[in-house]
Amino acid sequence: MFRALAFASIISALCVCSSVRADEAEDKAVAFVEKLGGKVHRGETPSGKPVVSVFLYACPLSDAGVKELAGLKALTTLNLGATKVTDVGVKELAGFKALTTLNLSFTTLTDVGVKELAGFKALTTLELNYTDVTDAGVKELAGLKALTTLGLGGTKVTDAGVKELASLKELSVLGLFAAKAVTDAGVKELAGLKALTTLELGLTKVTDAGVKELAGLKALTTLDLHYTGVTDAGVKELAGLKALSVLDLGNTGVTDAGVKELAGLKALTTLNLGGAKVTDAGVKELAGLKALSTLNLGGTKVTDTGLKELAGFKALTTLDLSFTTLTDAGVKELAGLTALTLLDLSGTTLTDAGVKELAPLTNLTMLYLGETGVTDAGLKELAGLKNLTALFLFNTKVTDAGVKELTAALPKCKIMR
């Protein structure tokens, strides 16, 4: 009996010592992270508050530094984006099998490093944007069946790599933006990923033929097609995606006819038509999209006449009209959009008279007036916009004196010129 009690005491003591050592290792790792300017987050468990998340994005972390994280045994989220970590450092992550979220974007990671991630079966979110990953690396991810979010934007991935993703049936968010080798053939391989809610294909070689392959992805809520070869014919293929709330068609060949095809997408809250071939007639076609809160018409052929059509968009909080032929008369049409918090009028013929028309927009926090005719007299008209936190005045005739006066009236507003 005595021997049994003694043995139990020894085991208990060893457990305590082990726990103390683990705490010390964790504390040492936390100190290292914070010294680099990183942040940690602790979780709530029956046994204490272990570190479950580490944020080291853009911190001066090297491969050697990754070893210093070894004491964080409960880690589930790790952000090493924009650090100096290479394939060598990724190998040091082998002990973190509980990771569910990992960000290695903007590092020099290659396929060799991705191979080291193949055993991280618990991963649900993996960000590899702007790394040197190729199709061979993507093939190594095929076994990560729990993935719901995958970022491969700005990589060298081609259609062959996209094909390797077809088995990841749980994917709901897929970023392929600026994966410039991806074409319609690659998009066709995504047709079976019915769980997709967000798909980013901007700056790829996708055309109308590729968009047609998306018609069956009824769960899509966010679709990015900016700077692609999409035209009105492609937009017509989107008509059945009724769940879409965010659609980016910026700098595409879409015209007023294409905009007309969007009329049935009543759930749209964000629409980017910047740089598209849209005119006043196109703006008129948007009339039924009452849920719109963000609208980009920058660089289009929209005029003051078209702005009259915006009067009914009372939910708008963000509006971009930069580099259009907008005049002071057009700005007057915006007076009723009192929910606006961001307004971009850069590169228009706006003058001080037009700035005066902004007075009712008291919820504005960000205002872009660069490359306009605004002067110090116009700045005086902004003094009543007490919620302004950022004002952009690049390439204007505004003087130091005018800025000083407005700063006195709006001390919380950062003025950039």
Q: What is the pLDDT of residue 21?
A: 59
Q: How far is CA 339 from the centre of its chain?
A: 23
pLDDT by residue (tens digit) across 212-248?
999 999 999 999 999 999 999 999 999 999 999 999 9
- Return the percentage of the chain with pLDDT > 70, whole number: 94
Mean pLDDT of 20-47: 87
The pLDDT-based confidence of 20 (bands split at 50, 70, 90) is low
State both tokens at 379. Answer: 């700045």
Tell me phi and psi for residue 238, to 5 degrees: -90, -10
Q: What is the pLDDT of residue 15?
A: 44
The pLDDT-based confidence of 10 (bands split at 50, 70, 90) is very low
Average pLDDT, the chain: 94
Return the closest-CA partner of residue 277 out of 222, 327, 231.
231
Contact 296, 274 (CB under 8 A): yes
State both tokens at 36. Answer: 């680099």
> Quick check: 2 pLDDT over 60?
no
Domain 303-417 sits in CATH at 3.80.10.10
> Quick check: 368 pLDDT over 60?
yes
**Predicted structure pTM score:** 0.93
> Quick check: 259 pLDDT over 60?
yes
pLDDT by residue (tens digit) across 117-163?
999 999 999 999 999 999 999 999 999 999 999 999 999 999 999 99
Amino acid, single-letter form, for residue 363: N
